[in-house]
A and B are shown apart, each in its own frame.
Chain A
Amino acid sequence: MTAALLAVGVLVLLVGSVFLRGYHALNLDLFTKGPATFGQTGGGISQAFVGTIVLMVLATAIALPIGVLVSIYVSEFAPPRLAEQARLWLDVLNGFPAIVIGIFVFTLLVVGNGQSGYAGAFALSIIMIPLISRTTMEMLALVPNHLREASYALGVSKWRTVLGVVLPSAAGGILTGTILAIARAAGETAPLLFVCSIAANTVNWNPKNALASVPVTIFQYSEAPDPALHEQAWAAAFVLIIAILIMSLGARHLHDRSRKRLGQIQ
């Protein structure tokens, strides 16, 4: 019991101190203004929030289709031995350290071309694919077989069945799984360090350049000499935690509800 209280205590301490140290800088400027010139107070990290949004949109656009397609293969097409193999490889991919994935994308896309938002999004999508696949496979497995069989019995072809019957039934769970993956990837710093970290201080929507991102900015500010930057780092950390916690808790709750509802289809 003490152990559990200790863990909860650490959590409270963590969130508490992030809030306490950050709320001075927690104002609208944080989101709307760029950094102030060195030595001056004020300013914000609008470029980081913009960058994270762009990166997450791109990363989801890559990871969601691939993750869902892999899951459809494993759950609808693959013979059992191959399905087992595919699950294994996805688990292996999930276990790769994030910094190693960063180095990989660095050697693949950045060497010779420079950093870019596209490379950053690709690195984040590699993190997201195993997560999306795992929840999607779980959801697809929960779709009752007699739904599929009823569809085939009516003469519907396999692809129409998958796209028109199976996927829509699992859609809620797939969505919540994606949100969980987004919550995880939004906080990842290591994949971006080599790939999308040296970015301009101004707001930039173009993924061809390296974009600032919230976790990398927190990382850089945490080691900066200027205490005003530390405050902004705390504020940004607070916003990041709150966003991730809302996404995670909300998605997990809805996910459990989707699972129950699928399990109740008679």
Chain B
Amino acid sequence: MEADVPTRPGLRRTRNGLDRFGDRLLYGLTAVAALGTFVLIAAIIWKLIEGSWPAIKHFGISFVWTSAWDPVHANFGAFQFILGTLITSFGALLIAAPLSIAIGLFLSELAPPAIRGPIGTLIDMLAAIPSVVIGLWGIYVLSPPIAHTVEPFLHKWFGFIPLFGTPTESSVFTAMLVLTIMMVPITSAVCRELFLAVPRDLEEGALALGATRWEMVRGVTLQYARSGVVGAVILGLGRALGEAIAVTQVIGNYVPLSVNLFAPGDTLASRIANQYQGADTALTLHSLIYLGLVLLVITLITNVIAQRIVHRFNALQRA
């Protein structure tokens, strides 16, 4: 038996021309925008390769392990700057990682709930301060006491270690401190989220078994969030590797790199930033762009590693 479906004579077809056109237009526009992101990334990489091509042709891959920066004799190499980048960033990491984990723990487990909010906000504010202001502060407020008090002190007591050599006005050490200040807010914010996400029943179980607060934090919270914390630290490292402005203001822009942390130095990013007023020769410019390419590769690798760690951590959590 056929059902008598009541029909309404006035019901419009809803998929009229304008709607179909509008749908397709919106889909087209948004898809182009999304594709554009991918194209932009490819374009950045392409333009960097293209811009450094004459230097790549001239020096080849040995640019990466050559130590030189001599515009007069057209001899350029990235090695010292790569070292400088790695030393400043990893040095900052050594200081920033424990600090960030401690702050993350403090804000998630140990602090009285009333002050968690305000202190968290204050640390977020530190993250929002632009690098040029931190650099300005670094030159005139941080550098003098470091160069005139801290470094001579360390040099006097630990000067037998080549790391703590003769202090100078602008130093790699100050750059490390500046990078630490920039890394800590990001890393501690991610750590805080991680520690907050540790399942409550695991923590309470440990406490029920008689663990002290600290034992619970050490045995449950930190263990559970361990790989996530590694991801967070590497994320902060990625930020430090690419930092140009604050570093170039305090590091002294000096090429021969020495073991002495208190001597001036240079990183990939700070060398590029320092030459912004123009390069004398074409090869200098192409070599600068080559430096940028090397920096990009290092940063990309770091960020991809960080992302995979975070990804795996999230997958483990969901399981």
Contact = CB atoms under 8 A, between A and B. Distances in A.
B33 A69 contact: yes
Tell me the interface secondary structure of chain A in the complex: helix
Contact of A190 (B40, B129, B245): B245
Nearest to B242: A97
**Residue picked from A104, A215, A223, most chain B C-beta under 10 Å:** A104
B26 A11 contact: no
B130 A244 contact: yes
Contacts of B7: none
Contacts of A193: 244, 273, 276
A221 to B, nearest CB: 9
B249 A222 contact: yes
Contacts of A7: 99, 103, 122-123, 126, 184-185, 188
Q: How large is the interface on B (under 10, 10 to 19, 20 to 34, 35 or more residues)?
A: 35 or more
Contact of A97 (B41, B140, B241): B241
A72 interface: yes
Given A11-B123, A14-B129, A219 B135 contact: yes
Contacts of B296: 96-97, 100
Nearest to A247: B128
B270 to A, nearest CB: 9
B126 A11 contact: yes
A155 B16 CA distance: 11
Interface string B139-151: 1110000000000
A129 B37 contact: yes
Contact of A96 (B15, B128, B299): B299
Given A100-B48, A107-B47, A107-B50, A234 B30 contact: no
A255 B126 CA distance: 19
Nearest to A76: B30
A101 B44 CA distance: 7
Contacts of A104: 43-44, 47-48
A155 B8 CA distance: 15
Contacts of A73: 27, 30-31, 33-34
A107 B122 contact: no
Contact of B131 (A91, A190, A245): A190
B9 interface: no
Nearest to A2: B102
Nearest to A152: B14
B33 A70 contact: yes
Nearest to B24: A159
Contacts of B137: 14, 17-18, 237
B258 interface: no
Interface in B282-319: 288-289, 292, 295-296, 299-300, 303-304, 307
Interface in A220-257: 222-223, 230, 233-234, 237, 240-241, 244-245, 248-249, 252
Contact of A230 (B29, B48, B140): B140
B272 interface: yes
B125 A187 contact: no
Nearest to B98: A3
Interface stretch (A24-32, A82-90, A168-176): A82-90
B38 interface: yes
B272 A223 contact: no
Interface in B236-288: 238, 241-245, 249, 269, 272-273, 276-277, 288
A194 B276 contact: yes
A66 B33 contact: yes
A47 B272 CA distance: 26
Interface in A55-109: 66, 69-70, 72-74, 76-78, 82, 86, 88-93, 95-101, 103-104, 107-108
A165 interface: no
A224 to B, nearest CB: 11
B113 interface: no
Interface in B11-26: 12, 14-15, 19-20, 22-23, 25-26
**Most chain A beta carbons < 10 A, residue from B29, B119, B132:** B132
16 contacts: A7-B185, A18-B137, A95-B299, A95-B300, A97-B269, A97-B295, A97-B296, A98-B244, A99-B242, A99-B295, A100-B44, A100-B292, A104-B44, A107-B48, A187-B133, A237-B133
